[in-house]
Amino acid sequence: MSETMTGAEMVVRALQDQGVEHIFGYPGGAVLPIYDALFHQDKVKHVLVRHEQGAVHAAEGYARSSGKVGVVLVTSGPGATNAVTGLTDALMDSIPIVCLTGQVPTHLIGSDAFQEADTVGITRHCTKHNYLVKRIEDLPRIMHEAFYVAANGRPGPVVIDLPKDIQFASGTYARPASNQHKTYRPQVQGDMEKIKAAIALMASAKRPVFYTGGGVVNAGPQAAALLRELVRLTGFPVTSTLMGLGAYPASDPQFLGMLGMHGTYEANLAMHGCDVMINIGARFDDRITGRLDAFSPHSRKIHVDIDPSSINKNVKVDIGIVGDCAHVLEDMVRLWRSTAPQVDKVALKGWWDNIAGWRGRKCLAYRKSSDVIKPQYAIERLYELTKDREVYVTTEVGQHQMWAAQFFKFEEPNRWMTSGGLGTMGYGLPAAIGAQLAHPNALVVDIAGEASILMNMQEMSTALQYRLPVKVFILNNEYMGMVRQWQELLHGGRYSESYSHSLPDFVKLAEAYGGVGIRCDKPDVLDDAIREMIDTPRPVIFDCVVDKAENCFPMIPSGKAHNEMILGDAAEDIGSVIDAKGKMLV
């Protein structure tokens, strides 16, 4: 069925046909026709953010918590440039986003017209793909193709730049029979011969470890279920990147915790000492590998990734399998079941004994206090008091983000949203808004730092306007704590510009926005204050005043190897828990 309509109407119709229920945006001259088309319908609901960066992060939170494509609508020029940080964030963390940007009319492109920016030029390097629509005939195809490109293969952000004359032009719209791009066909099914070789290698392993990442979450809930099945079938230990948390349940005894720069001692040493590494949907990021030439020196490596360029990019692997994690895991589970391999039980037992020794160091231990709230304690209590609910957690960037990753236990995928690849301060509040919109009855908490939260604080207005009862839980240490920590460790404690000066009163700020403010600075009343926050059915800013001097451990200093980790002073001494054999592996 084809119909005649304007370009702006086509945009909205295509969104409806894609099943889009919510979009995040901010109006301006170059997108007014689209806003007019939105006005005439109510299938696609528009959420008015307060800054375009917030729109993209909100769409990311929406996408990552729901598995859908997040949609953004912004105007030309400053609207588009404000969206750039969000787009880059989505590219780095492989989040499917379609971002519609207004553009000056085609005949003015290149003339430095009012609010003109070369949006496709600027976003070329921070999108998976982008389009400038120059003919109305191309618009229906591009709209649908963009959703295909954003969601298929390795997901990512796609920009469609829409000149205003195209929005006014009239043409025929028909929903294309297929969304598919004419040539782009990512490979989802893994090569069976390589999967067989991988299973054989796994079966022969003496010191294996699964290293899983955001790719498992992106491949959908069935991928997480298959991962659980495979890990339990094999009996191997499993660790996860920051982006992959929740794909495997954190409370499970086979889970070693997160790995990487602030990962656990046991996870990093297992990576260092393993003989077979099974990477599922992770990308050997430098925060994970540490010093590359010392990375897991004795292992043979299997790498499953949907992005062929991820394989052998940073780390050379023995078996690289291009494919969607869910498909490959399904094959692996089936093969493992049908071949029922005889694993080396004695060796595996020894490996688990080693791991038990490393666990015994209690690398996440910290000195408790009864006068000041330790940030780790605050996250532990937040977790304990919310764990029986449907809870979604977002974060800003800094120490609080790492403590959240270490101390909040995620049992399910899609519950944890953080800016991993780009490390964007200001991500958490808008992402929480997006997640809350997708899950109206869930508890959504942004674990924040007092510095980061100020970067997109304006989104409190959005939360209020749409009655989204997000909770901003600020670990207020009055410092850009992560910067202060590095200055302490690397720059002789010269805290150059890392003190959070002239902070607002967060309680009054919450109230000024029409939300609820809660402050707590005593450990003994923390539980009550957290309960009050949970029970408040409105947006809350919780100013949790914590120890200013606390550092985030364990830590692999950058440029060091996994076995050169620094532990906090509360961890157990190495001599007391590791026997001679264990030390050989360290």
Sign of the Cα torsion 166, 171, 173, 177 reads negative
Given Mg ion, ligand TPP, other proteins, none, residue 540, with its beta carbon under 5 to 8 Å by kind, binds: none
Residues near ligand TPP (CB under 6 A), total:
19
Given ligand TPP, other proteins, Mg ion, none, residue 439, with its beta carbon under 5 to 8 Å by kind, binds: none
User: Cα-Cα-Cα-Cα dihedral of 230, 234, 240, 245, to 10°?
Assistant: 40
Which residue in the block uniquely carries the two structure tokens 């829409």? 162
Both tokens of 483, joined, read: 């910067």
Both tokens of 107, joined, read: 């005949």
Given other proteins, ligand TPP, Mg ion, none, residue 106, with its beta carbon under 5 to 8 Å by kind, binds: other proteins
Main-chain phi, psi angles of 279, to 5 degrees: -90, 115
Is 452 a binding residue for ligand TPP by CB under 6 A? The answer is yes
Which is nearer to other proteins, 112 or 293 (by Cβ)?
A: 112
Smallest distance from the beta carbon of 288 to Mg ion, in angstroms?
Answer: 24
- DSSP state letter for 292: G
Is 425 a binding residue for ligand TPP by CB under 6 A? The answer is yes
Is 449 a binding residue for Mg ion by CB under 5 A? The answer is yes
Beta strands in 378-417 (DSSP E): 391-395, 416-417
Compute the distance between CA of residue 209 and CA of residue 226 in angstroms, rounded to an integer: 16
Given ligand TPP, Mg ion, other proteins, none, residue 327, with its beta carbon under 5 to 8 Å by kind, binds: none
Which is nearer to other proteins, 169 or 454 (by Cβ)?
A: 169
Smallest distance from the beta carbon of 427 to ligand TPP, in angstroms?
Answer: 9
Which is nearer to ligand TPP, 215 or 481 (by Cβ)?
A: 481
Q: Which residues bind other proteins (CB under 8 A)?
A: 29, 104-111, 113-114, 118, 120-121, 164-165, 168
Q: Give the strands of the sheet with 255-258, arranged side by side.
A: 255-258, 238-240, 208-212, 276-280, 300-305, 319-322
**Which of 382, 397, 404, 565 is in the footprint of ligand TPP by CB under 6 A?**
397
Whether the ω angle into residue 554 lies within 30 degrees of 0, i.e. cis, is yes
Beta strand 97-103 with 157-163 is: parallel
Is 481 a binding residue for Mg ion by CB under 5 A? The answer is yes
Given other proteins, Mg ion, ligand TPP, none, residue 107, with its beta carbon under 5 to 8 Å by kind, binds: other proteins
Compute the distance between CA of residue 455 and CA of residue 53 in angstroms, rounded to an integer: 10
Smallest distance from the beta carbon of 476 to Mg ion, in angstroms?
Answer: 7
Which is nearer to ligand TPP, 239 or 424 (by Cβ)?
A: 424
Smallest distance from the beta carbon of 313 to other proteins, in angstroms?
Answer: 21
Neighbours of 279 (CB within 10 A): 26
Among 311, 153, 266, residue whose Cα is nearest residue 567: 266
Beta strands in 218-311 (DSSP E): 238-240, 255-258, 276-280, 300-305
- DSSP alpha helices (H): ranges in 387-522? 399-407, 428-438, 460-465, 481-490, 506-513
Given ligand TPP, Mg ion, other proteins, none, residue 120, with its beta carbon under 5 to 8 Å by kind, binds: other proteins
Give the interface segment with ligand TPP, choosing from 17-25, 201-209, 397-405, 566-574 (CB under 6 A): 397-405
Q: Are 522 and 512 in contact (CB under 8 A)?
A: no
Which residues are tagged catalytic? 52, 114-115, 164, 482
Given other proteins, Mg ion, ligand TPP, none, residue 104, with its beta carbon under 5 to 8 Å by kind, binds: other proteins
Give the interface segment with ligand TPP, choosing from 183-191, 353-361, 377-385, 476-484 (CB under 6 A): 476-484
Give the interface segment with ligand TPP, choosing from 12-20, 117-125, 438-446, 474-482 (CB under 6 A): 474-482
Q: Is 456 helix (H, G, I), strand (E, B) or coil?
A: coil
Smallest distance from the beta carbon of 119 to other proteins, in angstroms?
Answer: 9
**Which of 119, 376, 424, 462 is in the footprint of ligand TPP by CB under 6 A?**
424
Which is nearer to other proteins, 109 or 294 (by Cβ)?
A: 109
Compute the distance between CA of residue 129 and CA of residue 17 in angstroms, rounded to an integer: 21
Compute the distance between CA of residue 128 and CA of residue 141 in angstroms, rounded to an integer: 17
Compute the distance between CA of residue 384 and CA of residue 396 in angstroms, rounded to an integer: 21
Smallest distance from the beta carbon of 367 to ligand TPP, in angstroms?
Answer: 18
Which residue in the block uniquely carries the two structure tokens 């290149």? 110
- DSSP state letter for 572: P
Smallest distance from the beta carbon of 419 to ligand TPP, in angstroms?
Answer: 8
Residues at the site binding ligand TPP, with contacts judged by CB under 6 A: 396-400, 423-425, 449-452, 475, 477, 479-483
Contact residues for Mg ion, defined by CB under 5 A: 449-450, 477, 481
